[in-house]
Amino acid sequence: MKNIFRRTLLIGLLLSLAVPAARAAKGPRKSKKDEVVTISTSLGDIRLVLFAQTPLHKANFLKLAATGFYNGTTFHRVIPGFMIQGGNPNSKDAQPANEGQSPENEKTIPAEIRPELTHQRGAVAAARTPDFVNPERRSSASQFYIVQNPQGTPHLNGQYTVFGQVISGQEVVDKIAQQPTGAANRPVTDLRMTVKVEKMKKKKITERYGYQYDK
């Protein structure tokens, strides 16, 4: 009887050790939820998801959105057939001339350029300074752009970090890109945004917006 009890105890112990080991071998458990980012403008709403493959950019954007950083910033550069760009805190003031400039001593984010994340229509990517001053291709801490071109902008692949995708409201991106502009491709009328984040089940995101997650 004692031997049977010891064997049973030993088998139970081995199983208790094997289950965590098996889970570890499979890697971390994927979350069943994701964040949906909604960018609201006077022309409508744009909804995005951010990629798990670019964790630094995703965490940074969500943090800025949660603190209200983007509220009141504008899409300060729009080019039809190309992209719309926004998120510069300088765009909150009444001096349009400084909107294309990054704030002094702005922090940057290490590049997370991945070959599978391309500049397709609706791709969300981080703006940055040129290679000659930024050979590591580090990203701006806040400025981003959304690809408007129906064919995408493949010439930018491998050069900028793509970290998200529009899942709803691409027609709003098109409207923004078509707005009349002045110097430096700045819209004549301010296109201010507010940004909010909502946690949602991935299954619901797929059902509501048609976005497919990798399995």
**Phi, psi dihedral angles at 40 (to 5 degrees):** -100, 135
Supply 208's token pair: 């509501």
CB atoms within 10 A of CB 71: 15
The pLDDT of residue 4 is 53
The pLDDT of residue 13 is 46
In tens, the pLDDT along 38-54 reads 999 999 999 999 999 99
Q: Taking the domains of the chain in order of start, what are their residue ranges? A: 33-92+107-209
Cα separation of 71 and 7, whole Å? Answer: 64
Q: Which residues of the chain have pLDDT under 70?
A: 1-28, 94-95, 97-104
Whole-model pTM: value is 0.86
> What is the topology classification, in CATH, of domain 33-92+107-209?
Cyclophilin (2.40.100)
Cα separation of 106 and 140, whole Å? Answer: 8
- Indicate the DSSP class of residue 102: P
Cβ(143)–Cβ(86) under 8 Å? yes
The pLDDT of residue 16 is 55
CB atoms within 10 A of CB 204: 13
**Which residues, in sequence order, are bridge partners of residue 35?**
199
In tens, the pLDDT along 176-210 reads 999 999 999 999 999 999 999 999 999 999 999 99
Question: Where would I find the H helices in 122-180?
Answer: 170-177
Query: Which residue in 49, 35, 99, 39 sits closest to 69, CA to CA?
Result: 39
